[in-house]
């Protein structure tokens, strides 16, 4: 089985993490992404067993629902529909308020035309909706060369840069 | 008015290029129609009943004559020779071809205009007072803050996929709100505190639609430097907690009502304390930078013209006198007046303006009003800075252009949504009804006798025609496949905000205009004096006399 391709830091790479749904067996090693429920239930054991652990959270979860985010290598935020924009605020809070420095990944119904906004809100990795081309999606990051607002990518609004 | 710099120009140009790519991806099938929809909506492209509609943003309603000429050119070249003024001070084209839209956006960009975020679940065009900058009772010009908010909201990365659309209005005249701040998702009222400083009263959770709600005060006084950080926290709480399971319960008003204003405020303040950074504070220098674009035009030093206005109103030329009385408003600068150009003519759908009229309006604005025009939320236009002494000449020119109607604020100055003629959401037609009203009551003596009364018509519960806040509100409903109309009385969008109450059973197309006539007859009969306005009479006597007038003894209340 070939590795899943994702976008990370504006490049297409093989995914070195693997999603482990509830009920599925944990791998012997590597970098699993477990559900928030599994993480909450056996946090210490998981963190002890995997030096690079990821947690996947549903779109109705808030940063405060994730205990000790600083110990995680990755947080994946679900977009159940492309029109559900909660993940943008969750990402921004994780970065700005909780100082999360690991990989922040958008998963689910993720589309090329959201990447620019997602990156500004703190996401640095993207699993596009299956079937969507990755190569051309990279162009999305360069579509705007100026922005008005403060965001994770630049904490200064344009009026402090103008 | 605001002039783009290199940043603004780049952002708008890059946006037009991005949209070309999105259209291309849609045409190749790389994205589905479902996925394309929010992209085209946030570029102002809305699917109506028969065709696409393109809604062009007119920030706070302000247009230069150059922009008006461009709008005329677009109407002539890409549409059917007219444009439509909307209740959010925007301009709409009802018949553009999808293939032409990227080119139209380029045309708009050439005069610093765009169609960004005029539709979709995002922060919409910021609206304001159509007398901003010239109202004598204004505390401060609200437009610099509107422009600051326009820039902040344009492509805000966090708030492009909100639960629902989001509308913000700003008024600088706390004593006479002409922007309906209490019916917006966020309403901002410039106010002065005890120390003499200006700041914002922040109102949240107002709206119309199927659940009309008068907004509540979340902050009595917000210092200006916190404007953006505080609004950002309101949006964040809404984005995280607003309902997404039901489109009809997704507006912020539903969240505010569900949580209660105190709990909503607690969440906003909590987020704000945690998220506001010094960098987010709005520096005085930025306010000054933007304010410099709204400096007053080079007014001449003139004596006050109040007596001249009074003389005009009572003069021999009755048509002119009536127009001065109804369409001319006082100005903060001596010798000047603000003029409402009514586009509400018998036979013309409210808000429609032809390409030749637009060209003429641009010429008139250049000749009489420093080249500026303002779109009003009542679907008319304002010339903000006219020398009072030139009013007779201006009036004669407007009459020749068929734009001299003296009905501003009167019965035939009807506000409507596009209705079933254009919109697939509508239950009933609004335009023919407004045309019938315009014809039936087109007698100036009658209009003057009835005085200030607003009629607002919506073709469905989404209330784009603002029927909830019409002194007389009309709502189109579907009754077993037939078009019916509910009649409401007593609404007001201003400082004395109120939501109209349903008078009785819905009326058929044949009955509705007659019913309005009966309501007005009864008003003339029961008013205390000619000075008691229609709204005041309704508030004083209640609905009962009007029910009697329309339904006789047997008023079936609420039946629809």
**Contact A86/A93 with Cβ under 8 angstroms?**
no
How is residue B13 written in tokens?
């140009």
Contacts of B42 (CB under 8 A, 6+ apart): B116, B117, B119, B120, B122, B160
**Contact B80/B95 with Cβ under 8 angstroms?**
yes
B134-291: what CATH class? Answer: alpha beta
User: Chain A partners of B151 at a C-beta cutoff of 8 Å?
Assistant: 148, 158
Residue of A nearest to B18 (CA): A143
Q: What's residue B554's pLDDT? A: 53
The reply to whether residue B35 touches residue A145, judged by beta carbons under 8 angstroms, is: no
The reply to whether residue A83 touches residue B14, judged by beta carbons under 8 angstroms, is: no
Q: What's residue B559's pLDDT? A: 42
The strand pairing partners of B105, in sequence order, are: none
The reply to whether residue B11 touches residue A148, judged by beta carbons under 8 angstroms, is: yes
Crossing angle of helices B318-327 and B391-400, in 10° steps, is: 100
Cβ atoms within 10 Å of B309's Cβ, excluding its own? 19
Cβ-count burial of A4 within 10 angstroms (0-12 exposed, 13-18 middle, 19+ buried)?
middle
Cβ atoms within 10 Å of A27's Cβ, excluding its own? 12
Q: What's residue B442's pLDDT? A: 87
B 17-36 → A contacts, CB under 8 A:
17-18, 22, 25, 30-31, 35
Q: Which domain holds residue A49?
A: 5-160
The strand pairing partners of B127, in sequence order, are: B169
Q: Is B101 helix (H, G, I), strand (E, B) or coil?
A: helix
**Contact B159/B242 with Cβ under 8 angstroms?**
no
The reply to whether residue B152 touches residue A92, judged by beta carbons under 8 angstroms, is: no
∠ CA A60-B249-B468, rounded to 5°: 155
Query: Which of A148, A152, A161 is the best mutation test for B, with the most CBs of B within 10 A?
Result: A148
CATH for A95: 3.20.20.70
Of B39, B161, B286, the CB nearest to A84: B161
Q: What's the whole-model pTM score?
A: 0.94
pLDDT per position in chain B (560 positions), as tens? Answer: 999 999 999 999 999 889 989 988 988 899 998 999 999 999 999 877 677 899 999 999 999 999 999 999 999 999 999 999 998 999 999 989 887 888 999 999 999 999 999 999 999 999 999 999 999 999 999 999 999 999 999 999 999 999 999 999 999 999 999 999 999 999 999 999 999 999 999 999 999 988 999 999 999 999 999 999 999 999 999 999 999 999 999 999 999 999 999 999 999 999 999 999 999 999 999 999 999 999 999 999 999 999 999 999 999 999 999 999 999 999 999 999 999 999 998 888 889 999 999 999 999 999 999 999 999 999 999 999 999 999 999 999 999 999 999 999 999 999 998 888 888 888 888 898 999 998 899 888 899 899 999 999 999 998 989 999 999 999 999 998 899 999 999 999 999 999 999 999 999 999 999 999 999 999 999 999 999 999 999 999 999 999 999 998 654 444 44
Return the residue matching tokens 């549409």. B79
* DSSP-derived pairing of the beta strands B455-458 and B415-416: parallel
What is chain A's percent helix, strand, coil content, to nearest 5? 30, 20, 50
Nearest Cα to B489, choosing from B480, B498, B479? B498
User: Residue B322: what are its φ and ψ, rounded to 5°?
Assistant: -65, -40
pLDDT tens, position by position, A19-73 = 999 999 999 999 999 999 999 999 999 999 999 999 999 999 999 999 999 999 9
Of A96, A133, A148, the CB nearest to B152: A148
- Whole-angstrom Cα distance, residue B242 to residue B74? 38
Q: Which pairs from A140-144 meet CB under 8 Å and 24+ separation?
A: A140/A112, A140/A113, A140/A115, A140/A116, A141/A10, A141/A115, A141/A116, A143/A116, A143/B14, A143/B17, A143/B18, A144/A116, A144/B11, A144/B14, A144/B15, A144/B18, A144/B155
Crossing angle of helices B509-526 and B534-541, in 10° steps, is: 80
Chain A closest-CA separation from residue B167 CA (Å): 17
- Based on its alpha-carbon atoms, the radius of gyration of chain A, rounded to whole angstroms, reads 16
Return the residue matching tokens 């677009």. B74
Of B22, B157, B159, the CB nearest to A113: B22
The reply to whether residue B239 touches residue A86, judged by beta carbons under 8 angstroms, is: yes
Q: Could you tell me which CATH number the domain at B306-400 has?
A: 3.90.480.20
Query: Which of A86, A121, A124 is the best mutation test for B, with the most CBs of B within 10 A?
Result: A86
The strand pairing partners of B330, in sequence order, are: B337
Cβ atoms within 10 Å of B196's Cβ, excluding its own? 6
Residue of B nearest to A144 (CA): B14
Q: What's residue B557's pLDDT? A: 47
* CA distances (Å), origin B428, targets B470, B475, B485: 18, 8, 8
How is residue B400 written in tokens?
């020749």
B280 touches chain A (CB under 8 A): yes
User: Chain A partners of B240 at a C-beta cutoff of 8 Å?
Assistant: 62, 86, 89-90
B157 touches chain A (CB under 8 A): yes
Among the residues of B31-142, which ranges form H helices? 33-41, 65-78, 101-109
- Whole-angstrom Cα distance, residue B165 to residue B301? 45
**Contact A134/A7 with Cβ under 8 angstroms?**
yes
Longest Cα separation, chain B: 69
Longest Cα separation, chain A: 53
Q: How many residues does chain A have?
A: 162
> B415-551: CATH homologous superfamily?
Sulfite Reductase Hemoprotein, domain 1 (3.30.413.10)
Residue ranges of the domains in chain B? 6-109, 134-291, 306-400, 415-551
User: Chain A partners of B157 at a C-beta cutoff of 8 Å?
Assistant: 88, 116-118, 120-121, 147, 149, 151
B13 touches chain A (CB under 8 A): no
Count how many domains chain A has: 1
Q: What's residue A2's pLDDT? A: 64
Chain A closest-CA separation from residue B346 CA (Å): 43
The reply to whether B6-109 and B306-400 are identical in fold is yes
- Based on its alpha-carbon atoms, the radius of gyration of chain B, rounded to whole angstroms, reads 23
Chain A closest-CA separation from residue B284 CA (Å): 11
B159 touches chain A (CB under 8 A): yes
User: Chain B partners of A120 at a C-beta cutoff of 8 Å?
Assistant: 157
CATH 3.40.50.620 holds for B6-109: no
Question: What ipTM was estimated for this complex?
Answer: 0.97
Q: How many residues does chain B have?
A: 560
The reply to whether residue A160 touches residue B228, judged by beta carbons under 8 angstroms, is: no
- Whole-angstrom Cα distance, residue B253 to residue B267? 15
Burial track B102-115 (b if 16+ CB lie within 10 A, e otherwise): bbbbebbbebbbbb
Helix H or strand E segment including B472 = strand B472-479
DSSP per-residue letters across A40-93? HHTHHHHHHH-SS-EEEE-TT--GGGSS-GGG-SEEEEEESSTT-THHHHHHHH
Q: What is the mean pLDDT of residues A1-26?
A: 93
Q: What's residue A112's pLDDT? A: 95
Tally C-beta pairs within 8 A across A and B: 108
């Amino acid at each position: 089985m070939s590795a899943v391709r994702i976008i990370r830091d504006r490049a297409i790479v093989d995914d070195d993490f693997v999603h482990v749904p509830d009920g599925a067996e944990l791998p012997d090693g590597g970098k699993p992404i477990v559900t928030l429920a599994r993480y909450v239930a056996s946090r210490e054991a998981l963190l002890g067993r995997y030096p690079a652990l990821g947690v996947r959270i549903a779109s109705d979860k808030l940063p405060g629902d994730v205990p000790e985010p600083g110990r995680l290598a990755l947080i994946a935020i679900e977009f159940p529909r492309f029109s559900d924009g909660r993940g943008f605020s969750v990402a921004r809070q994780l970065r700005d308020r909780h100082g999360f420095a690991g990989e922040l990944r958008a998963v689910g119904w993720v589309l090329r035309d959201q990447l620019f906004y997602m990156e500004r809100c703190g996401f640095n990795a993207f699993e596009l909706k299956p079937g969507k081309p990755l190569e051309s999606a990279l162009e999305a990051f360069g579509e705007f060369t100026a922005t008005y607002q403060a965001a994770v990518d630049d904490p200064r609004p344009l009026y402090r840069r103008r | 008015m605001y002039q783009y710099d290199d940043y603004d120009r780049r952002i708008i140009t890059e946006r037009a290029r991005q949209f070309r790519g999105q259209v291309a991806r849609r045409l190749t099938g790389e994205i589905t129609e479902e996925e394309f929809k929010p992209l085209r909506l946030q570029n102002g492209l809305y699917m109506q009943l028969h065709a696409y509609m393109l809604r062009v943003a007119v920030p706070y309603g302000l247009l230069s004559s150059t922009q008006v000429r461009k709008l005329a050119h677009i109407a002539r070249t890409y549409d059917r020779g007219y444009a439509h003024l909307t209740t959010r001070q925007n301009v709409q084209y009802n018949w553009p071809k999808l293939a032409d839209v990227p080119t139209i956006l380029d045309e708009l960009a050439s005069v610093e205009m765009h169609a960004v975020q005029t539709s979709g679940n995002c922060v919409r065009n910021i609206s304001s007072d159509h007398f901003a900058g010239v109202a004598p009772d204004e505390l401060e010009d609200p437009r610099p803050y509107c422009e600051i908010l326009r820039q902040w909201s344009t492509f805000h990365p966090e708030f492009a996929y909100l639960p629902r659309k989001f509308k913000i209005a700003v008024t600088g005249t706390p004593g006479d709100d002409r922007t309906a701040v209490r019916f917006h998702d966020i309403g901002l009222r410039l106010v002065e505190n005890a120390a003499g400083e200006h700041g914002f009263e922040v109102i949240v959770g107002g709206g119309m639609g199927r659940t009309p709600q008068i907004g509540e005060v979340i902050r009595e006084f917000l210092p200006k430097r916190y404007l953006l950080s505080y609004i950002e926290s309101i949006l964040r709480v809404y984005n995280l907690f607003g309902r997404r399971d039901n489109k009809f319960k997704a507006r912020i008003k539903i969240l505010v009502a569900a949580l209660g204003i105190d709990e909503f405020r607690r969440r906003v303040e909590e987020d704000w304390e945690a998220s506001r950074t010094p960098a987010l504070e709005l520096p005085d220098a930025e306010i000054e930078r933007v304010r410099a674009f709204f400096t007053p035009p080079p007014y001449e030093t003139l004596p006050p013209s109040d007596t001249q206005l009074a003389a005009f109103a009572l003069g021999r030329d009755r048509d002119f006198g009536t127009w001065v009385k109804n369409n001319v408003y006082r100005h903060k600068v001596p010798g000047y007046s603000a003029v409402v150009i009514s586009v509400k003519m018998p036979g013309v759908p409210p808000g429609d303006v032809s390409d030749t009229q637009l060209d003429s309006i641009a010429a008139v604005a250049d000749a009489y009003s420093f080249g500026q025009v303002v779109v009003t939320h009542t679907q008319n236009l304002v010339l903000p800075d006219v020398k009072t002494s030139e009013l007779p000449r201006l009036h004669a020119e407007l009459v020749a252009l068929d734009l001299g109607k003296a009905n501003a604020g009167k019965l035939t100055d009807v506000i409507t949504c596009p209705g079933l003629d254009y919109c697939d959401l509508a239950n009933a037609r609004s335009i023919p009804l407004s045309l019938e009203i315009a014809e039936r009551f087109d007698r100036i003596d009658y209009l003057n006798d009835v005085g200030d009364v607003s009629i607002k018509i919506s073709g469905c519960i989404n209330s784009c025609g603002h029927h909830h806040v019409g002194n007389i509100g009309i709502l189109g409903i579907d009754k077993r496949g037939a078009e019916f109309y509910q009649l409401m009385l007593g609404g007001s969008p201003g400082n004395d905000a109120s939501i109209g109450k349903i008078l009785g059973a819905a009326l058929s197309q044949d009955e509705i205009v007659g019913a309005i006539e009966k309501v007005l007859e009864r008003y003339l009969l029961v008013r205390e004096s000619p000075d008691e306005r229609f709204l005041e009479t309704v508030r004083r006597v209640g609905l009962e006399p009007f029910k009697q007038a329309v339904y006789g003894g047997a008023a079936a209340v609420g039946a629809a």
